[in-house]
Amino acid sequence: MLVPLLTIVGVISVAFAATPAPQATAQPCTAAQYRQFDFWLGDWRVVDPQGKPAGTNLVTAEYGGCALQEHWKGVGGDQGSSFNIFNGTAGKWHQTWVDNSGTLLLLDGESPNPGVMVLSGMRRTRAGRMVEDRITWTKIDDDHIRQLWDYTADGGKKWSVVFDGTYIRQQASSR
């Protein structure tokens, strides 16, 4: 009985020895494209063009840096959140935005230059009209970003501003 047991132990030992060691795999979402929107990460106070408070926005890296999540709180009580991800298959950025007024935005786009992100998409208004939304984030410096959201209902002949805000980075202790 001892010989068959030693044979079994020997076979198991050979099987484990023949199994290759796990290879280190590249971390997902580490390529340069996945970092193009990282300038938006942070805890922000947002003001309108006249410098009046518009709200706060906390933008965090989630899921191992594969997604950015936005947590918006407007001074008028509006709240919303978005997930932003570089879609490697499509080669474009995608944002899904939802808020407490029932708005859903599905936007896609790219970073045409470092520190700039432009996302756009079609949306049906409550009146049933189709419009194209375009949101542009532009890094002014490490502590300031401008976000301009505009839309067109006529294929781009005329654009109207929905939101124009300047993000000002908050210190860690101020939120």
Domain boundaries, the chain: 32-174
Is the domain spanning 32-174 CATH 2.40.128.20? The answer is yes
What is the widest separation between alpha-carbon atoms in the chain? 89
Sign of CA dihedral 114, 144, 77, 150: negative
The token pair that represents 153 in the structure block: 């209902």
First to last CA, the chain: 72
Q: Give mean pLDDT, residues 104-132.
A: 96
Please calculate the CA angle 155-160-165 and round it to the nearest 5 degrees. Answer: 130
pLDDT tens digits along 31-88: 999 999 999 999 999 999 999 999 999 999 999 999 999 999 999 999 999 999 999 9
Cβ atoms of 156 and 132 closer than 8 Å: yes
Rounded Cα distance, 37 and 117, in Å: 7
Asked if 134 and 149 touch (Cβ cutoff 8 Å), the reply is: yes
For tokens 């991800």, what's the residue?
A: 85
pLDDT in tens, 120-141: 999 999 899 999 999 999 999 9
In contact, 108 and 120? CB cutoff 8 Å: yes
Band of pLDDT at residue 20, cut at 50, 70 and 90: low
pLDDT above 90: residue 151: yes
If you average pLDDT over residues 7-15, what whole number do you get?
A: 47
- What confidence score (pLDDT) does residue 27 get? 84
Q: Decide: 70 and 84 in contact? Cβ < 8 Å.
A: yes
- Banded model confidence at residue 171, pLDDT cuts 50, 70, 90: confident
For the chain, give the mean pLDDT. Answer: 89
Return the pLDDT at 82. Answer: 98
Question: Is the predicted pLDDT of residue 1 greater than 70, yes or no?
Answer: no
